[in-house]
Amino acid sequence: MKQTTVVVKIGTSSLTDDRGRLDEGKLQHHAAAVSRLKQAGMGVVLVSSGAIAAGFHELGMKQRPRTLAGKQAAAAVGQGMLIQRYREAFARLGHSCAQVLLTRGDFDHRMRYRNALNTLGFLLERGSIPIINENDSISVDEIRWGDNDFLASLVAGLLQSEWLLLVTNTDGLYTENPWENPAAEKIHRLTEVDDHLLSRLDDSKSALGSGGMRSKLLAARRASAAGTRVYIGTAVESEDWMEKAVAGEGSGTYIASASHRISRKEHWIAAHSLPKGMIQVDKGAAQALLEAGGSLLPCGITRVSGEFEPGSVVEVLDPQGRSIGRGLTRYGADLLQRVKGWQTEAVHQIDPHVPDEVIHRDDWVTLFSLNYA
């Protein structure tokens, strides 16, 4: 039987004290909760923030740095400290852990994406706990993503995990900001995260973290679209609280998964890859892709932009210029510029070996149906 995989993302505010220093008690409590999941036979991947918060004190700074160089330097100091504390905590509980540093390019590049999957899969098979963080000391993107929420959703999709637990200092989603309005009501369950809900939320966050509830809901939407169930909540005193959350007994907010789990290939195209170009199509081609389950042929293409080779991911726009999906192109940009709008027979007169389809239906993902906004 396939092992249940749980991705746990722990935010900075859930790891530090009021002064921003790593709180040993909090970290050990999280480790004990993860250990309970392991004892229940689950595979656990930990996406942990806290490196910058841990490191800026060691650099003699009184508050979290605001400059990119300061954040990266603090992360370089704090990352080692953070992983060492996790190693010690998990060793006392009889578990091994492994540090895995990732960058945005590891997800964008198909081969590196597979390598990351293979590494994490091997660690889980051996019973180790991968502890993932963005490689903050060299990466610009993570500091813009929002406290590793986005990274955690990518990891959940990569592993096709059953659960994503987003551990924060607020016990779930409320109708309004509970820090400002004590009368705000908690939302215990959501079937989906829609644009109307997101428009009502701000990015309120702690002074030590970089993500807010809106960031978590965006991450939840991505994970949910990939077939992962999401729980947003805070740690409680009982060490079995993560286990209870996975059992549906948590006090936070649950977000349901999509009814259909997409493949890793589809998830990579939709969520991980960065499009290398753009293809605009006519009404008939858009209908074939969105309604008829068809492939994209040269005759349906009206405009091409960007420089790309066969095998690249491209964005596809409808006649009004709205993005409708992404796919792996079987044509390079130069050839496609030349033959856009042509019938397939005419294209074969130029190159008889070129495929009939520019984007085959097996290499296509409709983005808006997956809520990957």
pLDDT tens-digit map of 94-111 = 999 999 988 777 887 888
Number of residues written out for the chain: 373
Is 137 marked within a binding site?
no
Is 60 marked within a binding site?
no
Q: Which two tokens stand for residue 367?
A: 């983005």
pLDDT at 147: 57
pTM tops 0.75: yes
- 372 with 223: CB under 8 angstroms? no
Partnered with residue 253 across adjacent β-strands are 232
Is 216 marked within a binding site?
yes
- 344 with 284: CB under 8 angstroms? no
Q: Which two tokens stand for residue 130?
A: 């991968």
Q: What are the distances in angstroms from CA 165 to CA 4, 20, 155, 242?
A: 13, 23, 12, 8
Q: How far apart are CA 123 and CA 43, in angstroms?
A: 10
**Per-residue model confidence as pLDDT tens digits over 192-239:** 887 777 777 655 543 333 347 888 888 898 899 889 999 999 998 889
* Single-letter amino acid code for the residue at 303: R
CATH superfamily of domain region 5-266: Acetylglutamate kinase-like (3.40.1160.10)
Is 78 marked within a binding site?
no
Q: How far apart are CA 85 and CA 139, in angstroms?
A: 23
Return the CATH number of 275-370, one of 3.40.50.300, 2.30.130.10, 3.40.630.30, 1.10.3470.10.
2.30.130.10
Is 215 marked within a binding site?
yes
Q: How far apart are CA 102 and CA 157, in angstroms?
A: 15
pLDDT band at 371 (very low <50, low <70, confident <90, very high): low
pLDDT band at 144 (very low <50, low <70, confident <90, very high): very low
Give the domain ranges of the chain. Answer: 5-266, 275-370
**Per-residue model confidence as pLDDT tens digits over 2-57:** 789 999 999 888 888 887 778 889 999 999 999 999 999 999 999 998 888 788 87
Is 70 marked within a binding site?
no
Is 264 marked within a binding site?
no
Give the side-chain half-sphere CA count within 13 A for 20: 21
Is 210 marked within a binding site?
yes
Q: Which two tokens stand for residue 258?
A: 């999509």
Q: Which two tokens stand for residue 269?
A: 């195209």
Partnered with residue 132 across adjacent β-strands are 47, 100
- 45 with 6: CB under 8 angstroms? yes
Topology match between the domains 5-266 and 275-370: no
Residue 147: exposed, middle, or buried by beta-carbon count in 10 A (0-12, 13-18, 19+)? Answer: buried
Q: How far apart are CA 129 and CA 49, in angstroms?
A: 16
Is 212 marked within a binding site?
yes
pLDDT at 145: 44
Buried b (16+ CB within 10 A) or exposed e, 279-310: bbbbeebbebbbeeebbbbbbbbeebeeebee
Is 251 marked within a binding site?
no
The helix or strand, by DSSP H or E, that contains position 92, with its residue range, turns out to be helix 68-92
Please spell the DSSP secondary structure of 305-350, one letter per residue.
Answer: EE---TT-EEEEE-TTS-EEEEEE-SS-HHHHHHHTT--HHHHHHH
